[in-house]
A and B are shown apart, each in its own frame.
Chain A
Amino acid sequence: MAQIEQQAAPAAKPDERIRQVGFLTHMMRRPELGAVAGLVLVVVFFFFTADPSMFSLSGLMTILAPASQLGILAIAASLLMIGGEFDLSIGSMVAFTGLIFGALLTNFGQSLWLSIVFTLLLAAVMGAVNGQIVIRTRLPSFIVTLAFLFILRGLTLVGLKWATGGSTQLRGIEDVVGDGLLKQVFSGVAFQPLFNWLAEHDLIEKFDNGVPKVTGVPVSVLWFVGITGVATWMLLRTRVGNWIFAAGGDPVAARNSGVPVDRVKTGLFALTACAAALVAIITVLDAGSTDARRGFQKEFEAIIAAVIGGSLLTGGYGSAIGAFFGAIIFGLVSIGLTYTQFDSDWFQVFLGSMLLLAVLFNNFIRRKVTGER
């Protein structure tokens, strides 16, 4: 006993029982640490097992395009998770809003901008309805949105058959949209002149006729990066961000402190639905068609990406940057396996293990943060 006291004595400044936080512990407090570590792990893995072409510019773009679409959903899902709720209907929402968007353009002959605005508005309203049901009934959002997963998927099928006269695929969107500035905001690639210039100067790979192999950055990637930035700023720096953490951390305490918890949650549900609609608009414009399987199982993938990104299933903790890396890990693994000798059916095994690891890690981190013993 005496020995221990003597050892502790020199360090005793304010409270001798509190250890000085090291840099490492400080880093451990960041919710996105797990995702960054996972990303490093996955990159190292593929660096040694995959064909080097995976890390070429075109290889990276092939990975980033699907990762960015998932990422837009994952960031919204992680905000909602931090706010203490789930939305299992995101995937079906992508299909449903895709149908609405496609039908507005083709069946109703509306202009592109009107279709986009209406689709986003409708998604916001449906998300808000979802949220209101959860709040008013006090049922777990898990079960309410699970119901919507099926309702929306079914409505999409019924609607598609109605819109196309019996088919489950709605085509011909490309023909009615044409090519304009607004379309370029939501589909295709950006920075083409830059990539052309780079190819001219032999800085990137090009075909024999001088056309660069990668013509630009997919716009979905720009949306993805932009949304990550805005979401991160909102979470960490704004009042709404503080309210999101509070609503998910402890709704009763938040309410007692004057935080409008119900409004925050309803807003988050609407935001998540809008993210689904945005992904629908991007993918429908890119493909020129929409079908009943669009967004299939995306709700799980988005939640997995959010969890890998450090969001707690119980709410109140997480980050948008984490979800950003989570989605990239997802893209790396799903596309990356085709560059290796492994059978790409291993993907799901890999994914499941990753999820389990992430959850265990998150739990450990939460105990660290709250000082639970």
Chain B
Amino acid sequence: MADGKTVTSPPVIEVNNIVKHYGSVIALSGVSMKVSQGEVLCLLGDNGAGKSTLIKTLSGVVRPTSGDFLVEGKSVTFSSPRDALDAGIATVYQDLAMIPLMSITRNFFMGREPLKGIPPFRHIDFKHCNAVTHEEMRKIGIDIRDPNQAVGTLSGGERQCVAIARAVYFGAKILILDEPTSALGVAQTSMVLKYIHQVQQKGLGVIFITHNVRHAYAVGSRFTVLNRGKTLGTCAKGEIGIDELQNMMAGGKELQTLSDELGGTI
């Protein structure tokens, strides 16, 4: 299994032998992976494989127990999600990205509100914010009537797209998408996948976490499979078939047998 020979540009994120212990629980026991500009790395793995711990490490929520973490070739240690954001690593969480009761504009600029005016009267430049939000939404093909409408009125797929658009707008170099499609229907999934492809074309690196091999195969350029806190392997798109990938992720035989029993429907 080759380690992504096709990619020539230097990796934006590279981790080597990352280990994370939670007390006596070993969540990650030596994970290595890297992502370069303009590629979609799919992180595949079953429940408990260590996907969420890995994301939390990359996005600065938890600190690794040991291992190297390089951003653009330089070793880094993040002490908060803010640090990761500043380094250009933006994470979009499945259902924790947007606040439904707040307007699209307020959500879009949350935590990074542009201000104007002199100190005691400094306030958010809402005119600018609304214009930007409207424009960014239009670019990704979501026609909103009013950027002041609550995010709760958007569909799940639209919310994911808004969250991704926000990260892109604020200059993310790497996007980490935590199961962005797992709660979505078919049409909405394709909307999100299409947008991921668009983001990739722009030259951003994307880490796409999923346990749906089909979704991964649709947009991924490389696939890293995690199992029991370890990297099982990484392969580029041409090197592996969708079924092989599925088997690797599920840890082999059992699923294959089950799949045969059910007539190949898994």
Contact = CB atoms under 8 A, between A and B. Distances in A.
Interface of A: 14-15, 18, 20-21, 29, 233, 237-239, 241-243, 245-246, 249-250, 252-259, 312, 316-317, 366, 369-372
A237 B101 contact: no
Given A245-B106, A250-B96, A370 B124 contact: no
Nearest to A241: B124
A316 B99 contact: yes
A332 B152 CA distance: 36
A242 B149 CA distance: 15
Given A239-B115, A258-B111, A252 B126 contact: no
Given A254-B99, A316-B99, A15 B106 contact: no
A256 B97 CA distance: 8
User: For this complex, into which size category does the number of interface residues on chain B fall?
Assistant: 20 to 34
Contacts of A366: 101
A249 B102 contact: yes
B244 interface: no
Interface of B: 81-82, 85, 91, 93, 96-102, 106, 109-113, 115, 122-124, 126, 143, 145-146, 149-150, 152-154
Contacts of B115: 239
Contacts of A14: 143, 145
Nearest to A26: B146
A233 B126 CA distance: 13
Given A245-B101, A256-B97, A258-B111, A371 B152 contact: yes
A369 B150 contact: yes
Contacts of B126: 237
A241 B115 CA distance: 13
Given A246-B106, A256-B97, 19 more contacts: A15-B143, A21-B146, A239-B113, A239-B124, A241-B124, A246-B110, A249-B102, A250-B96, A254-B99, A256-B81, A257-B111, A258-B81, A258-B110, A258-B112, A366-B101, A369-B150, A369-B152, A370-B152, A371-B153
A172 B83 CA distance: 57
Contact of A254 (B109, B110, B112, B143): B110
A245 B148 CA distance: 14
A370 B159 CA distance: 13
A253 B99 contact: yes
B81 A255 contact: yes
Contacts of A250: 96, 99-100
Contacts of B100: 249-250, 370
A83 to B, nearest CB: 13
A369 B113 contact: no
A252 to B, nearest CB: 5
A95 B102 CA distance: 36
Contacts of A245: 99, 101-102, 106
A253 B81 contact: no
